[in-house]
């Protein structure tokens, strides 16, 4: 009787891609191939290998994962490798994979460590060896980090090239072609006072391509403005790798000391412009506490928007001779650049929108509340009719159908992925059929649920939504003595158009009230008259009109 040969494969790995290590990998492959063929009762399968890949994780080791898949699918009976540290430097992975392979009657022999996972005491000895390998990996990681920090302190640059600079072999040099772009960004922000969104848009319009990103954005601009390299300084260890097993990076929030070297390389911008830019960044970046303090000063702070240019309105106050306080709100673009005009370089700046007196805003808010109270039932009926139409268009999403559709798509993707796994030989045809049947059953149940969901309780749910709007309208319409504190609570925002037209949007109400106003008199005898009232919806415009 002919004895069946054992199907044997080998695994080899080097942790770096240096030439001497890759030569070692070739030598290992030749050695294992001869070693296996030297056993008459062994059948050579293949030598699986990975190069330049760390052993602390297995997810990126293609050769290793292919070997495990082949073993599970019956193509391998025995795996040989040099030592535990070549197989994995993670204790959990080492034990997990040897146990998993054992379930499929596949053994692992670690030649130098003289361990065969098929032996009775193998797991005990393997645990000790794997723990030692993991500890060695930790020590190696600490040595590498210590060495890198010493190199950083000497001025060696770690990282990639960036806009305006080329990083090569630990040295940084200026990329002259990109210097004008860097200078333009700092000048636009600090000297011209433009925002990061505006700068990003202008660079895009000028046809200037960014580096390492698809397109300019305010985030990209901020990174440039905050990067100390442009003033000639070097700050390293901004990110750290706290876990040597996962290798995941995170921002350094003080866990480790950063390495900062002043005047390290040739700057692109002056020290004066750098300092001014950082001060400007700090000034524009208002803290949450400051925002809260600012917004609490006036009931409409941050809630008035220019319908002409999209900027916010800012308050301007002065004290009159009689001691009375006079406050107006103006478009920020108008305050900064005056009336709308075209500069010599073709840039359009400024805004021609009118200022609005705060007394007019108070009159308008009082009128809105009074208007809603006077026509309470008629207005409520009109609004709720429109809400019903909108809800009918959106009820699929509101009532859970969208969630069910997403679940169906999720299982469809899983099913497609299982087909790929079978085609790649990672799972057997039998396993694929079982998985496919399970996914099909899940999808069928979800589709049945989708049909039921579209039928049941729809009217009850719609009525509940409409009732919530009815309650919100009641709260606003039943205000007896409106005050600025009340205005602040119920106002969402105000859009100010030219020619003294205001769109007032209240919270919890999906429609706005457009007012055409007229003002007369001076600051001491200021009067506001409502000329026209319209009920509006953002996407549809005017719904009803009252003179």
Domain map (residue ranges) of the chain: 6-147, 165-284, 370-520
pLDDT bracket for residue 425 (50, 70, 90) = low
**Whole-angstrom distance, CA of residue 391 vs CA of residue 382:** 14
pLDDT digits (tens, 9 = 90+) for 91-111: 667 888 888 898 999 999 988
Mean pLDDT score of the chain, rounded to an integer? 78
What pLDDT was estimated at residue 398? 46
What pLDDT was estimated at residue 475? 54
- 32: pLDDT strictly greater than 70: yes
Would you list the DSSP string of 82-120?
S-HHHH-S-HHHHHHHHHHHHHTT-EEEETTTTEETTST
- 2: pLDDT strictly greater than 70: no
- 465: pLDDT strictly greater than 60: no
Give the range with max mean pLDDT: 66-70, 323-327, 487-491, 525-529.
66-70
What pLDDT was estimated at residue 414? 76
- 483: pLDDT strictly greater than 90: no
- 183: pLDDT strictly greater than 80: yes
**Whole-angstrom distance, CA of residue 13 vs CA of residue 28:** 9
* CATH T-level assignment (fold) for domain 165-284: Hect, E3 ligase catalytic domain fold (3.90.1750)
Q: What is the mean pLDDT of residues 529-538?
A: 85
Contacts of 154 (CB under 8 A, 6+ apart): none
**Class assignment of domain 6-147?**
alpha beta
Q: What Cα–Cα distance (Å) separates residue 311 from each residue in 75, 308, 334, 348, 350? A: 68, 8, 9, 14, 10
What pLDDT was estimated at residue 396? 47
% the chain with pLDDT above 90 = 17
What pLDDT was estimated at residue 16? 54
Q: What is the mean pLDDT of residues 208-227?
A: 86
Give the range with max mean pLDDT: 132-146, 480-494, 513-527.
513-527
| CA-CA-CA-CA torsion sign (227, 228, 229, 230) | positive
What pLDDT was estimated at residue 295? 47
- 3-state secondary structure (DSSP) of residue 304: strand
What pLDDT was estimated at residue 209? 83
Report the candidate in 136, 60, 133, 58 with the shortest Cα–Cα distance to residue 101: 58
Give the range with max mean pLDDT: 11-20, 348-357, 401-410, 534-543.
348-357
Decide: 83 and 89 in contact? Cβ < 8 Å. no
- 3-state secondary structure (DSSP) of residue 249: coil
Which of 62-71, 217-226, 459-468 comes out lowest in average pLDDT?
A: 459-468
pLDDT digits (tens, 9 = 90+) for 384-396: 565 555 555 555 4
What pLDDT was estimated at residue 381? 61
The pairs formed by 178-181 with CB atoms below 8 angstroms and a separation of 24 or more are 178/211, 179/268, 181/208
What pLDDT was estimated at residue 397? 47
pLDDT bracket for residue 57 (50, 70, 90) = low
**Whole-angstrom distance, CA of residue 384 vs CA of residue 378:** 10
pLDDT bracket for residue 280 (50, 70, 90) = confident
- 310: pLDDT strictly greater than 80: yes
Q: What is the mean pLDDT of residues 186-207?
A: 87
Decide: 490 and 476 in contact? Cβ < 8 Å. yes
Higher pLDDT, 194 or 252: 194
Which of 122-131, 276-285, 343-352, 491-500 comes out lowest in average pLDDT?
A: 122-131
% the chain with pLDDT above 70 = 74
- 220: pLDDT strictly greater than 70: yes
Q: What is the mean pLDDT of residues 344-355?
A: 86
What is the dihedral angle through the alpha carbons of 32, 35, 40, 46, rounded to the nearest 10 degrees? 0
- 73: pLDDT strictly greater than 90: yes
Give the range with max mean pLDDT: 80-94, 354-368, 380-394, 409-423.
354-368
Q: How buried is 225 (Cβ within 10 angstroms: 0-12 exposed, 13-18 middle, 19+ buried)? A: buried
Q: What is the mean pLDDT of residues 122-134?
A: 76
Which of 85-89, 168-172, 192-196 comes out lowest in average pLDDT?
A: 85-89
Decide: 312 and 305 in contact? Cβ < 8 Å. yes
> Residue 172 belongs to what H/E stretch?
strand 171-174
pLDDT bracket for residue 471 (50, 70, 90) = low
- 155: pLDDT strictly greater than 80: yes
Q: What is the mean pLDDT of residues 20-45?
A: 81
């Amino acid at each position: 009787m002919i004895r069946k040969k054992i199907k044997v494969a080998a695994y080899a790995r080097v942790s770096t891609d240096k030439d001497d290590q890759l030569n070692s990998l070739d030598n290992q492959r030749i050695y294992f191939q001869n070693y296996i063929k030297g056993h008459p009762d062994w059948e050579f399968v293949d030598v699986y290998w990975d190069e330049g890949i760390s052993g602390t994780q297995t997810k990126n080791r293609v050769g290793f994962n292919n070997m495990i898949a082949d073993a599970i699918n019956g193509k391998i009976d025995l795996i040989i490798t040099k030592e535990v540290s070549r197989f994995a430097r993670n204790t959990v992975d080492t034990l997990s994979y040897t146990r998993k392979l054992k379930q499929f009657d596949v053994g692992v022999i670690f030649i130098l460590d003289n361990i065969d996972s098929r032996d009775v005491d193998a797991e005990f000895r393997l645990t000790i060896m794997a723990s030692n390998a993991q500890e060695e990996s930790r020590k190696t990681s600490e040595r590498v980090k210590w060495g890198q920090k010493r190199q950083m302190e000497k001025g060696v640059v770690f990282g990639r090239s960036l806009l305006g600079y080329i990083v090569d072999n630990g040295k940084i040099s200026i990329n002259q072609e990109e210097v004008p772009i860097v200078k333009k960004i700092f000048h636009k922000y600090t000297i011209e006072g433009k925002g990061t969104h505006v700068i990003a848009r202008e660079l895009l319009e000028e046809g200037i391509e960014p580096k390492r990103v698809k397109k300019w954005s305010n985030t990209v601009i901020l990174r440039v403005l905050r990067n100390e390299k442009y003033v000639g300084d070097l700050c390293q260890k901004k990110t750290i790798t706290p876990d040597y097993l996962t290798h995941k990076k995170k921002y350094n929030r003080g866990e480790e000391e950063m390495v900062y070297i002043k005047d390290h390389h040739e700057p692109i911008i002056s020290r004066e412009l750098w300092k001014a830019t950082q001060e400007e960044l700090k000034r524009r970046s208002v803290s949450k506490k400051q925002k809260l303090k600012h917004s609490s000063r006036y009931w409409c702070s941050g809630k008035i928007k220019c319908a002409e240019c999209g900027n916010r309105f800012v308050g301007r106050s002065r004290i009159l001779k009689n001691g009375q306080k006079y406050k107006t709100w103006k478009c920020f673009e108008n305050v900064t650049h005056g009336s709308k005009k075209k500069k010599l370089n073709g840039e359009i700046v400024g805004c021609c929108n009118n200022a609005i007196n705060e007394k007019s805003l108070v009159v308008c808010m009082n009128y809105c509340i009074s208007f809603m109270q006077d026509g309470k039932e008629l207005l409520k009926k009109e609004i709720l009719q429109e809400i019903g139409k909108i809800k009918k268009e959106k009820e699929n999403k509101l009532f859970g159908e969208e969630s069910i559709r997403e679940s169906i798509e999720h299982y469809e993707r899983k099913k497609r992925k299982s087909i790929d796994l079978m085609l790649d030989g990672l799972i057997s045809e039998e396993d694929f059929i079982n998985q496919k049947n399970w996914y099909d059953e899940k999808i069928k149940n979800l589709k049945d649920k989708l049909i039921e969901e579209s039928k049941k309780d729809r009217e009850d749910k719609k009525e509940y939504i409409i009732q919530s709007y009815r309650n919100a309208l009641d709260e606003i319409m039943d205000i007896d003595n409106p005050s600025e504190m009340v205005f602040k609570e119920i106002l969402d925002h105000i859009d100010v158009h030219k020619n003294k037209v205001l769109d007032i949007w209240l919270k919890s109400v999906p429609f706005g009230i457009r007012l055409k106003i007229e003002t007369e008199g001076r600051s001491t005898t200021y009067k506001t008259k409502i000329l026209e009232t319209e009920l509006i919806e953002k996407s549809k415009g005017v719904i009803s009109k009252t003179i």
